[in-house]
Amino acid sequence: MNKNSRLRSPFTFKLKRAGVLSAISAITLSACGTASSSSTPSNAAASVSKKVPLIVYAAEGYDAAVVKGFEKATGIPTQLEDHSTGTLLAKISAEANNPQWGVFWSDGSESYAALDQQGMLLKGFEPNTGILTALGRSLVPKDKSYIPTGTTIAGAIVYNSNVVKTPPTSWNQLLAPQWKGAVGMNNPAISGPTYPVVASVMDQLGGVTQGEAYFKALAANGLHVFATNKVTLGALLQGTIKLAIVQNSAGIGFQFTNPSLKVAYLDKSALLPGVIGIDAKQPPAELAEAKKFADFVYSKAGQALMLSGDPQGDSLFFPIIAGTKAHKVVPSLASIPTDYPNPLVWGPREAALNQWFTNNIVQ
């Protein structure tokens, strides 16, 4: 999929926000954003109900399936903009004075913590947190400014078991001569799931200075940097690298067609929550619809679509809704040593550290 083009699925309504808001300004909306007026006895044609279009920016493999299901279930016209996380964050930044999005959905809570500190996210709303697992509740921010929807692991190690018999077990081992020129990872400035890897390593090492020294050493040991999970895993299959540092769901997905690939986890790997944010600057009608979208994601129907919408990719996540079970190929999260850097600390540093990584690490 070309993430640089503006994509819309067949069910997308091509409506301009300004025209729509003007058209509905005098209409009283119901909780779903529906409006109607009574017909006179002489007029046989019923008036047409109108709803505000909900614009969803998303970088999840199952987003199209969920958006289509939401639209079908609620009748709310929904426009999907599907791009990489980096592209969407750039759009959101460029639109800061005139935001076009109503919902933003991607991986990594750091970006949302930064948006929250900029006053861009609706606070105080979460779907029914009573149905969250203990892990799910731990991912909800205190001010309820963003909504966790599931989690994967950032920075899993994927390797070809025909080539590598004993994979590394710690981040420090990646610096050994054995892995010189053999390790690849994504560029965090492009790949949303990768910045949490950078933040986690730096957090584990004690701070930015120590983390920068580590990644410089990794680069000196021949680190390869690619754009996204798919490209990095492609380099692994081609033999350009022996170890791929990618999102675990991507690695598990590649195993379906490449059973020799295995997924391993280092001493600590970063939790990578899928997260929804709602634009605080939208009018009440669209805010109400955005809340309904989040409610739908938490529903049984929404969870089923998340688990089926990208069966060899993002659907291979760890659910945080009680009663929702992960695919059988997904390992037990309890078996994986994890780290979750404080988003409030590392979120505001994301832009600067991504730029530093591009300037100093990307070859």
| pLDDT value at 178 more than 90 | yes
294-307 pLDDT per residue, tens: 999 999 999 999 99
- In order of 80, 91, 102, 151, 249, the CA distances from 57 in angstroms are 6, 9, 8, 19, 21
pLDDT for res 52: 86
| pLDDT value at 312 more than 80 | yes
Share above pLDDT 70 across residues of the chain, in percent, rounded to a whole number: 86
Spatial separation of the C-alpha atoms in residues 184 and 175, rounded to whole Å: 12
Supply the mean pLDDT for the chain.
Answer: 88
**Do residues 149 and 320 touch, judged by C-beta distance below 8 A?**
yes
| pLDDT value at 27 more than 50 | no
For residue 85, give its domain range. Answer: 17-151+273-335
pLDDT for res 38: 34
My answer on whether 34 and 101 are in the same domain is yes
Q: Which residue has the tokens 């948006």?
A: 115
**Do residues 102 and 278 touch, judged by C-beta distance below 8 A?**
yes
In this structure, what DSSP letter does residue 49 have? P
User: In this structure, what token pair is assigned to residue 63?
Assistant: 């987003």
SS3 315: coil
CB count, 10 Å around CB of 347?
Answer: 22
My answer on whether 160 and 146 are in the same domain is no
pLDDT for res 176: 98
Spatial separation of the C-alpha atoms in residues 224 and 206, rounded to whole Å: 24
My answer on whether 111 and 257 are in the same domain is no
Spatial separation of the C-alpha atoms in residues 57 and 363, rounded to whole Å: 30
My answer on whether 198 and 316 are in the same domain is no
220-260 pLDDT per residue, tens: 999 999 999 999 999 999 999 999 999 999 999 999 999 99
Query: Model confidence at 50, in pLDDT bands (50, 70, 90)?
Result: low
Q: Which residue has the tokens 């892995």?
A: 179
My answer on whether 315 and 210 are in the same domain is no
pLDDT for res 315: 98
Over residues 327-342, mean pLDDT: 95
* Assigned domain for 4 exists: no
Share above pLDDT 90 across residues of the chain, in percent, rounded to a whole number: 82
My answer on whether 211 and 355 are in the same domain is yes
pLDDT for res 157: 97
pLDDT for res 60: 97
My answer on whether 140 and 45 are in the same domain is yes
**Do residues 222 and 180 touch, judged by C-beta distance below 8 A?**
yes
Query: Model confidence at 51, in pLDDT bands (50, 70, 90)?
Result: confident
**Do residues 50 and 30 touch, judged by C-beta distance below 8 A?**
no
My answer on whether 260 and 159 are in the same domain is yes
My answer on whether 125 and 223 are in the same domain is no
**Do residues 7 and 63 touch, judged by C-beta distance below 8 A?**
no
| H-assigned helices in 264-349 | 284-298, 300-308, 343-346
* Assigned domain for 30 exists: yes
Backbone angles phi, psi at 362, to 5 degrees: -65, 125
Over residues 280-308, mean pLDDT: 97
Spatial separation of the C-alpha atoms in residues 167 and 160, rounded to whole Å: 10
What is the helix (H) or strand (E) element at residue 55, kind and residue range? strand 54-58
Domains held by the chain: number: 2
* Residues paired with residue 82 on neighbouring β-strands, in sequence order: 58
* Assigned domain for 8 exists: no
Entry pTM: 0.83
Give the residue from 236, 229, 245 showing the smallest Cα distance to 185. 245
Over residues 118-134, mean pLDDT: 95
Query: Model confidence at 363, in pLDDT bands (50, 70, 90)?
Result: confident
9-18, 80-89, 153-162, 202-211: segment of lowest average pLDDT: 9-18
* Assigned domain for 342 exists: yes
| pLDDT value at 48 more than 80 | no
* Assigned domain for 67 exists: yes
* Assigned domain for 5 exists: no
pLDDT for res 86: 87
My answer on whether 236 and 356 are in the same domain is yes
Q: Mention every residue, 6+ apart, whose C-beta is less than 8 A from residue 248.
A: 152, 153, 154, 156, 263, 265, 269, 316
Q: What is the domain-level CATH number for residue 227?
A: 3.40.190.10
My answer on whether 232 and 349 are in the same domain is yes
* Assigned domain for 7 exists: no
pLDDT for res 192: 84
My answer on whether 226 and 327 are in the same domain is no
- In order of 71, 146, 265, 322, 330, the CA distances from 128 in angstroms are 21, 13, 32, 11, 25
| pLDDT value at 45 more than 60 | no
* Assigned domain for 1 exists: no
Higher-pLDDT residue of 245 and 129 is 245
